[in-house]
Amino acid sequence: MISDSAEKHIRRPAVAGRFYSGVREILLDEVSDYYHQAKAPVRPGEIPRAIIVPHAGYVFSGSVAASGFNQIPENATYERVFVLASSHQMHFGGASVYCSGNYLTPLGLVEVDQGTGKELAEKNDLFNCREEPHRHEHSLEVELPFLQERLRKGFKLVPIILGTRKPEECRSLADTLRQFFIPGNLFVVSSDFSHYPEYHDAVETDRITSGAIMNGSPDQLLRVLKEQKEKGIPGLVTPLCGWTSVLTLLYLLEKADVQYEWVDYRNSGDQPLYGEHSRVVGYSAIAVFDAPGQGYRLTKEEKDALLKIAKVSIKNAIIPGMTGSLVTEVPSGQLDQPAGAFVSIYIGGRLRGCIGSFQSEYPLKEVVRRAAATAAGDHRFKSPGPDELDDLTVEISVLTPLKRIRSKDEIEPGKHGILIRKDMHSGTFLPQVGSKYGWSVEEFLGRCSRDKAGLGWDGWKNAELFTYEAIVFSSLPGKQD
């Protein structure tokens, strides 16, 4: 039961029934429908560190917002979600954190991390705990139903309304927030893009602004916003309505090892029933992930442990009745974390099995164990026999997360592996395959498309393309202990 004091300080919905449905059942269906229509994750299975999403009425921006939030894997959990939203109602110095109660939406209460809010206010005078900036502001509120539906295991909210219009204050706010940019926390930035130019001007303006954001440079964003305003584009009031929130994120991540990924775009003119092209608002979704390869450095001891696990697993698979122990001195750390990996088996230098996966809920050591056992019976090759153990070599490729690409020019031969995916067809080549045969990028793609994905030589041109990197290491030939 909620006490009278707590009831008094609940931040109640201000725009339910206008920006989105105020009826729980209808809102659940609405959000679910948007998720079903959302763009697929650009880095499947990888957990984003930050997301930029729009905040207009759902009928206009709901699909783009859902595409942004859809970058979060369904089984992901966050301890805290920081939502940064620039005020449309009030202008004041710094930012206001709601520290006195919880937020309420038609989907229920969202627990506010009041302790973190008070800590921010204690560390930096630019943060305050005023309630007024939150009462009627829509830009933060509209993001919550998407978060509630996605993060069903729950999360603690840190709701921040920025009233400042000063870049130096955004930098100071970012400096204080930086200690909270850690795994387990998500930063959501709420912002629409261009306001009120005609359709084609909006598309071009928003393309330029999105590019500046994805560059990750606060100075470039400020310069681009200034240039856009000075162009005299008819009807343009602002190229980025939540620019202070976006700028704060860029300052926050300025020295972080992260990568920005474009997710989705449309503007209000794309709404078939209510949209018109003479005066539109732009909506873009951008996600931020750890840079590819971050956290995938393995020590010699960890590599040796994985090779031992693979060798024993293969021996158990190919010798009837063999149950060799997989217990080994495995260094703690990376091997206990979920990761993708492939295991390749060579006999006398010739490939006799290759199996793996790109993402897994299992620890890396378990992924290698399973892949090795399965590779020993890869149906595409003659299975190794007990008498061939002396000539057996094991090669392990530990994979970085997949990265969606939109041009073959993003592929670096020898560095990147590729995954081609269309409908139910998919195929991959590990990074070392292209180097081994000296293929060009076009041959790399064509052979993978034809021979692996079954899409024909040019099928990759109309398919989803992903790259990844790999840490590759192997055993010496010899009898497996």
4 — pLDDT class (breaks 50, 70, 90): low
Give all domains of the chain, ordered by start, each with its CATH number.
4-290 (3.40.830.10), 300-474 (3.30.700.20)
Flag the least confident range among 185-189, 300-304, 374-378.
Answer: 300-304
pLDDT at 480: 47
Flag the least confident range among 217-221, 402-406, 415-419.
Answer: 402-406
Rounded Cα gap, residues 139 and 83, in angstroms = 10
1 — pLDDT class (breaks 50, 70, 90): very low
Instruction: Name the percent of the chain lying above pLDDT 70.
Output: 94
Would you say residue 99 has pLDDT above 80? Answer: yes
44-66 per-position pLDDT tens digit: 878 999 999 999 999 999 999 99
The first and second tokens of residue 237, run together, are 């009031």
- CA of 132: how far to CAs of 85, 95, 129, in Å? 14, 12, 9
71-94 per-position pLDDT tens digit: 999 878 999 999 999 999 999 999
Would you say residue 27 has pLDDT above 90? Answer: yes
Per the CB < 8 A criterion, the answer to whether 304 and 364 are in contact is no
Rounded Cα gap, residues 375 and 367, in angstroms = 12
Would you say residue 436 has pLDDT above 90? Answer: no
Would you say residue 96 has pLDDT above 90? Answer: yes
447 — pLDDT class (breaks 50, 70, 90): very high
pLDDT at 301: 86
Mean pLDDT of the chain: 91
309-323 per-position pLDDT tens digit: 999 999 999 987 776
Name the β-bridge partners of 288. Answer: 50, 260
The first and second tokens of residue 382, run together, are 């003659």
Q: What is the mean pLDDT of residues 444-473?
A: 93
CA angle 234, 238, 240 (to 5 degrees): 135
243-259 per-position pLDDT tens digit: 999 999 999 999 888 88
Q: Which of 358-362, 431-435, 438-442 has the highest mean pLDDT?
A: 438-442
What is the identity of the amino acid at 357? Answer: S
Would you say residue 445 has pLDDT above 80? Answer: yes
Polymer length of the chain: 481
Q: What is the mean pLDDT of residues 283-304?
A: 82
Q: What is the mean pLDDT of residues 295-300?
A: 72
Would you say residue 157 has pLDDT above 80? Answer: yes
Would you say residue 123 has pLDDT above 50? Answer: yes
Per the CB < 8 A criterion, the answer to whether 360 and 340 are in contact is yes
Q: What is the mean pLDDT of residues 408-430?
A: 90
Rounded Cα gap, residues 358 and 465, in angstroms = 14
Q: Per-residue DSSP letters for 94-143?
A: SEEE--SS-EEETTEEE-B-HHHHHHHHHH-TTEE--SHHHHS-HHHHTT
328 — pLDDT class (breaks 50, 70, 90): low
367 — pLDDT class (breaks 50, 70, 90): very high
pLDDT at 8: 81
pLDDT at 324: 59
pLDDT at 390: 85
Per the CB < 8 A criterion, the answer to whether 288 and 49 are in contact is yes
pLDDT at 471: 87
pLDDT at 327: 53
Flag the least confident range among 77-91, 221-235, 357-371.
Answer: 357-371
The residue among 215, 463, 475, 462 whose CA lies nearest residue 344 is 475
Contacts of 316 (CB under 8 A, 6+ apart): 322, 323, 324, 373
